[in-house]
Structure 1
Amino acid sequence: MIRHKWLKRSSLAVTALLLAWPISWAAPARDVSAAAAAPAPCGSGDHGLLQSLQKQHSGADQNPLHFTDIQFLSGSTGRAAGTGFLIGTSDAGCHWQEIYQGQWQFEQLDFSDNVNGWAIATMPSQQTPYLIKTTDGGSHWKSVYTGNMRFGRMQMLDKNTGYGYTGNAAYRTDNGGNSWVKVPTPANTRYTTFNNTKTGYVLTVIPGGGYKVMKTADGGHSWSTKLTVKTSVTVGGELYSKDNQIWAVLYGEAGMSQVSYSLYGSTDQGSHWKRVIGQDTAGGGPSPGGWTPVVKDGPAQPGGHPGNMQLIGKETAFLAGGSPAGEVVSVGVTYNGGKTWKNVKPTVSGYDGRISFVDGKTGWLVVTSATKSSIYSTKDGGATWSRKFAFPEALEP
């Protein structure tokens, strides 16, 4: 299955540092130094953070530090994670603090509140994913018991209840990861997501060709088909759901740094759908499905790869996109459930992007390329971006 992949960078294991971070995140730290009485200007460089880790990753034979995920709980409070580090802000990115520096190579973050968080992470020079959690805002992490399951993705509803997903199965915990119960899912399941412990959706492949999106309203005990898409190629896809919205990214093939895919959206829990994007590419061939799409291509051309989605309210949805060939990152957005779709003209260089939006206008973006990694913010739905954090090589012309 072709999915959004983040660069996995090897680094030497270093001792985790307990850093001065306000766990409540109620306000920006004001007692870090004597100079804090006169706050520094809102910056956009590396803010002097992670200096020892940056030195370890400097040099021609080393891989520079990279961001892999970002999550904002509000317009002011958020975290960004990467290869052996986690940083955070409580003033909308003007200032950042080190939260964690150590062995965990973060791949996915999911904080249910300011204190309790979960992550999928690997160890240096290893590919095995671990589920880890924190109860102090991210300063310290410990492995979560998962038995013989290796979760490639997780989704937490609150500090105790959440889901862990393998390639074709789903498991739920109701006690903070102390035990897991397998959730019944249909045959040939390739992706699962839940809104709550009752309502969930799965993406299945049809033997011989095609995709189905199916819904449960009883925690997985029964499933009903909500969308069927005919296609000769069933590579896989992703689902995003929240309240009444459900979106399906369905992949065709890939080649020449290009990806063919379709984006289907529903604002009534799958009763009615629109094929919003139908991106055909020379390298990947036709996109799945036969309905006329609202737009031909997704964000970040040429041949852009879809990133993650963010769903806001009843009808707003954002999709990140990156183009290795074009070396640009951008977003697409709908404010009416897919009736119309706008791809924002790329203004950020890179080839991978991951977004976190808190409303229909305010959002954040981590960008990765071979040598550059930065954090950007927008206040106009992605039309313009302002850099808030950058490792030194990203500041070079």
Structure 2
Amino acid sequence: MTTKSTTTWKRIGALALSLTMAWGLGPVHMQSGASSASSPTCGSGDHGLSATLNEGSGVEDQQLQFTDIDFLNNTTGRAAGEGFLIGTSNAGCTWQSIYTGQWQFTQLDFPNNVNGFALAQMKDSAKTYFIRTTDGGSHWKRLDTPGIQFKRIDFKNKNEGYGYTYNGAYRTQDGGLTWTKINTPANTRSVAFATDKQGYAVVVVPGSGYHLLWTSDGGKNWTTSLRIVSAAWNGADLYANGKQVWAVLYGDAGMSQQSYSLYASGNEGRNWRQVFAQSTAGGGPAPGGNSLGKGKGPADPGGHPGNMALIGNQTAYLSGGSPAAGKVGIGRSYDAGSTWKNADLDGTGYSSRISFPSVKTGWLVVTSNESPTIYETTNGGSTWKQKFLLPGE
């Protein structure tokens, strides 16, 4: 999920999604003979949707899996998978199918309840496409981006947004119809903009490691604020909201384990603190760490980071999953990284994605061979309640 400030659209999202599902901004698919009201228990099982999702998604020969989740507020949101999109407007008590078809979603981004954007692939193709909906997700249109392959998108509203590649950044002001390249430093590996002026970049310097930079003029000038020694540099992810910015820096991976470090700033990238450096036996030293490491990320041992969710200037969450341990979890901070706490989730899985529309209420999708699941927390991730469960293998 991309990081977004709470907006007026988010506050009215519940009403809009209710109207979308009830009055048909595109088809709402349900299993024959079933209705949301007939679900035996609020928030239990697959809500009678598995057969419809399997048939419509075109992946009948494989298990349905969740790939991303995006909530507008505490009650209204969507969860996506390979060939399907489902939604709820009552905090997961009932769910409905919004879309089934060719698009295998990798990231959702709904700045309001009608207009949405996504990155998606098609079956048997590794290419990622940028797509848009104007009816809540029932229908999607591909928007061509010649020569640009986005790895993450972040829309502030239905018109203005950012697209991030593996080595650069682009901005759109017309809902993704056209894109303007933003000036970034040489050897950039990740970029994030909190506003049209305030942005951040991770740069790789061969023989040195990672450098963290910031700009306050939209990328015209960049200033280095931290240099991090690392023998390996295998990419990075940046997240920014308000005055806080977080950097996930990757070392090597091996034996299903990932070495990586997490850095945080609470003053727009001027000063940074290392939150943890997860060194592993399989991946070696984490950037800025040593062979013993300096703390661990969620879903240890050897957990792989998922995505981050930032709220305001202080609160941050990071999802994680461990293929080696077969579990998922989240980490959190309420003080811009001064303190950090990890919590494992009961249940099996190997990767996860999160969406936190407010400080304590969040949503998580788990990828699992046994039970792909959607969970909700109302206490900042200390405990989780199951809201949707797909059949296992």
Partner of 1:13: none
Alignment of 1:98-109 (within 5 A): 98-109=97-108
How far is 1:128 from its partner?
0.8
Measured against aligned partners, the alpha-carbon deviations of 1:250-279 in whole angstroms (never above 9, x if no partner) come to: 111111111111111111111221111111
How far is 1:347 from its partner?
1.6
Query: Partners of 1:37 and 1:107 in 2: how far apart?
Result: 30
Count of matched residue positions in the alignment of Structure 1 and Structure 2: 372
- Tell me which of 16, 25, 33 is aligned to 1:24: 16
Partner of 1:260: 259
> Which runs of 5 or more residues in structure 2 are unaligned?
1-13
How far is 1:38 from its partner?
8.4
Query: Partners of 1:42 and 1:208 in 2: how far apart?
Result: 56
How far is 1:39 from its partner?
8.2
Measured against aligned partners, the alpha-carbon deviations of 1:298-349 in whole angstroms (never above 9, x if no partner) come to: 1111111111111112211111111111111011111122221111133231
The answer on whether the counterparts of 1:209 and 1:233 sit within 8 Å (CA) in structure 2 is: no
How far is 1:99 from its partner?
0.6
Partner of 1:200: 199
Query: Partners of 2:125 and 2:332 in 1: how far apart?
Result: 36
The answer on whether the counterparts of 2:57 and 2:100 sit within 8 Å (CA) in structure 1 is: no
How far is 1:135 from its partner?
0.6
Query: Partners of 2:224 and 2:51 in 1: how far apart?
Result: 52
> Which runs of 5 or more residues in structure 1 are unaligned?
1-21
Query: Partners of 1:358 and 1:312 in 2: how far apart?
Result: 8
The 1:39–1:260 alpha-carbon spacing in structure 2 relative to 1, beyond 3 Å, is: closer
The 1:138–1:48 alpha-carbon spacing in structure 2 relative to 1, beyond 3 Å, is: same
Matched, 1:215 2:214: yes
The letter of the residue matching 1:69 is D
Partner of 1:366: 365
Query: Partners of 2:211 and 2:46 in 1: how far apart?
Result: 45
How far is 1:209 from its partner?
3.0
Query: Partners of 2:278 and 2:39 in 1: how far apart?
Result: 47
The answer on whether the counterparts of 1:294 and 1:341 sit within 8 Å (CA) in structure 2 is: no
Other structure's SS at 1:24 match: helix
The answer on whether the counterparts of 2:372 and 2:390 sit within 8 Å (CA) in structure 1 is: yes
Query: Partners of 1:107 and 1:314 in 2: how far apart?
Result: 27
Q: 187-196 vs 371-380, which deviates more? A: 371-380
Alignment of 1:1-397 (within 5 A): 24-26=16-18, 41-54=41-54, 62-290=61-289, 296-393=295-392
Other structure's SS at 2:127 match: coil
How far is 1:40 from its partner?
5.8
Percent identity of paired positions between Structure 1 and Structure 2: 53
How far is 1:372 from its partner?
3.1
Per the normalisation by structure 2, the TM-score is 0.88
Per the normalisation by structure 1, the TM-score is 0.87
Other structure's SS at 1:87 match: strand
Query: Partners of 1:169 and 1:345 in 2: how far apart?
Result: 34
The 1:331–1:36 alpha-carbon spacing in structure 2 relative to 1, beyond 3 Å, is: closer
Query: Partners of 1:117 and 1:345 in 2: how far apart?
Result: 31
The answer on whether the counterparts of 1:70 and 1:80 sit within 8 Å (CA) in structure 2 is: yes
Partner of 1:7: none
How far is 1:52 from its partner?
3.5
Query: Partners of 1:138 and 1:169 in 2: how far apart?
Result: 28
Query: Partners of 1:170 and 1:309 in 2: how far apart?
Result: 19
How far is 1:235 from its partner?
1.2
